[in-house]
Each structure stands twice: as structure tokens, then as C-alpha cells.
Structure 1
Amino acid sequence: MKSLVVLRVVAVTHAIALCLQPVLAGSYLNGAGAAMRMHEPIGLAAVFLCLGQLLIATIWWRTGGRALAVGLTAAMLAGEVLQVTMGYTRNLLLHIPVGITLVGTGIAVAVWTCRPATRVRRTEKAAA
């Protein structure tokens, strides 16, 4: 179950990084040029956090956890790759809605991993 603790820490950190992105973009639109210079590295860090989260979610799943964590994280990783691509090409038509979806999903995954019911192993759930 140590992998679940690590998954929780990474999922919450990942969600915080995702939540910072619209704040930085808004600050940039208000005239703070430094905010956009921070937007890029935090976005790239979020992708690497997502990769780590996928690895940890896979380990947790293989040791009795839930496959849902792997599926959601894999979908988030695909969305983040799309997000970075749309950001670099300045395609805001997709960049903004994908970003909103990622923030919502990141928060949902972080909350879900921190719920007490998430600790129940697949084998314990099947026996009940």
C-alpha cells in the first residue's frame, strides 16, 4: 500500500501544477510577462509528473489497486501531450478547453486517490 501513498502525493502535486497554469495565463493577460515564462516550464513539469503518476498507478494496480487510476492517468497524459502541442503552436481554440478538462480531471483524480475507500484492495472488495 506504500505505492498508494506515493500515488496520492504525486496526484496532488500534479493537480496543483495543473491548477497553477490558468492562474499564470490569467496573470499574463493582466500584464505580468513573467507569468508566461513560468507557464511553459510548469506545463512541462506537469507532463513529467503525469508520467510518474502513470508509473506509480501501474505499480499500485499490479499490486492489488484499481485499474481506473491507470486509465485516467493515461488519458490525462494523452491530453497533456495534446495540450503542450497546442500551446507551442498557439492553437488557443483547443489549448483552453483541453486545459480546463485537464484541471478538472487532475483535481478529480487527486480527490479520488485520497478517499478512504480507495484503499480497499481488489481482493478484499471481491471477498465482501
Structure 2
Amino acid sequence: MATTTLWLLRATLLLHAALALAQPVSAGSYLSGNFDILATHGSNGILLVVATAVWGVAALGRIAANRGAGWPLLLLVPVVFMAEGMQIGMGHQRNLAVHIPLGVFIVLTAVLLAVWSFTSWAHPQRRVRRVTPGEER
């Protein structure tokens, strides 16, 4: 079960990161003159919010299995969820002064979380415990 919940969490975080990375690509395409891509950019933004909810559920599953450090994710779910919701609103209002920096935050967070999911911090049972001299094992 522990391996299953870890891989489910990794898959959902990778999906979220892929969706997040697609956003600046579609924005760049729009700025290059492909005006039809703006609809795709908006739809992908909504999928990004859904993906955040999904990795939030995966984090809950990881914690419920009592097999991992899911609490940092639970702290980040509302932050990222609210940031993405605000991002959609700022995009609709064409408020690029907020939309672009917030997008950078979302992409950076998504990539860092996906990378984190493959570290020993996401799977504490695999961390090596250092024993100091004179300490019992």
C-alpha cells in the first residue's frame, strides 16, 4: 500500500507539473501571434486547478496509509489552489502585473513538488538514520 500511495502521489504531482509547464508555452505561443491558443491556455488553467485537487486527495491517501510525509502537501494544497484560482481571475481581467508573477510561483511550486516526490523526504522509511558513536541502534 505504501508504494502504491507514493506512486499515486508522484503521478499526480507530475501531471500537475506538466500542466503548469504547458501554461507559459501556450502564453508564449499567444504572444507570438497564435491568438487561437488563448482558449487552450484558459482550459489548461482550469485543468491545473482540478489537478491540484487530485494531488491533494493523493496526499490524503498517503497520510491515511501512514506511510509518508504528506503534511507539507496538505499545507500547500490550499495555497496553490487559491493561487491558481486567483491566477484564473487575473487572467480573465488581463491583469498581467499579477498574472505573470503568480504564474511563475505556480510553475516553480509545481516543479519543486514533483521533484520532491522522488526524494527520500517523500518516503521517510527509506531515509538512513545516522547513529552517533555510543548510541544504541
With normalisation by structure 1, the TM-score equals 0.88
Question: Shift in Å at residue 23 of structure 1?
Answer: 0.8
Q: What displacement does 1:40 show?
A: 0.7
Query: What amino acid is the match of 1:70?
Result: L
Q: How many residues align?
A: 124
**Structure number with larger C-alpha Rg:** 2
| Residues in 2 aligned to 1:117 and 1:18: alpha-carbon distance in whole angstroms | 23
State the Cα distance separating 1:117 from its structure 2 match: 4.0
Q: Match for 2:88: what amino acid?
A: V
Distance 1:62 1:78 in 2: 24
Name the CA distance, whole Å, in 2 between partners of 1:112 and 1:72. Answer: 13
Q: Do structure 1's residue 118 and structure 2's residue 122 form an aligned pair?
A: yes
User: Are residue 108 (structure 1) and residue 107 (structure 2) matched?
Assistant: no
> Matched residues, percent identical?
29
Q: Structure 1 stretches of 5 or more lacking a match?
A: none
The answer to whether the 8 Å contact 1:72/1:109 transfers is: no
Q: Which residue of 2 aligns with 1:70?
A: 74
* Alignment partner of 1:41 out of 36, 40, 43: 43
Partner of 2:5: 3
Give 1:46 shift.
Answer: 0.5
Q: Which whole-Å CA distance do the structure 1 matches of 2:50 and 2:96 have between them? A: 22
> Quick one: distance in 2 between partners of 1:99 and 1:77?
12
Unaligned runs of 5+ in 2: 130-136
Deviation at 1:63, TM superposition (A): 2.3
The alignment yields a C-alpha RMSD, in angstroms, of 1.8
Name the CA distance, whole Å, in 2 between partners of 1:44 and 1:102.
Answer: 13
Q: What TM-score do the two structures reach when normalised by structure 2?
A: 0.83
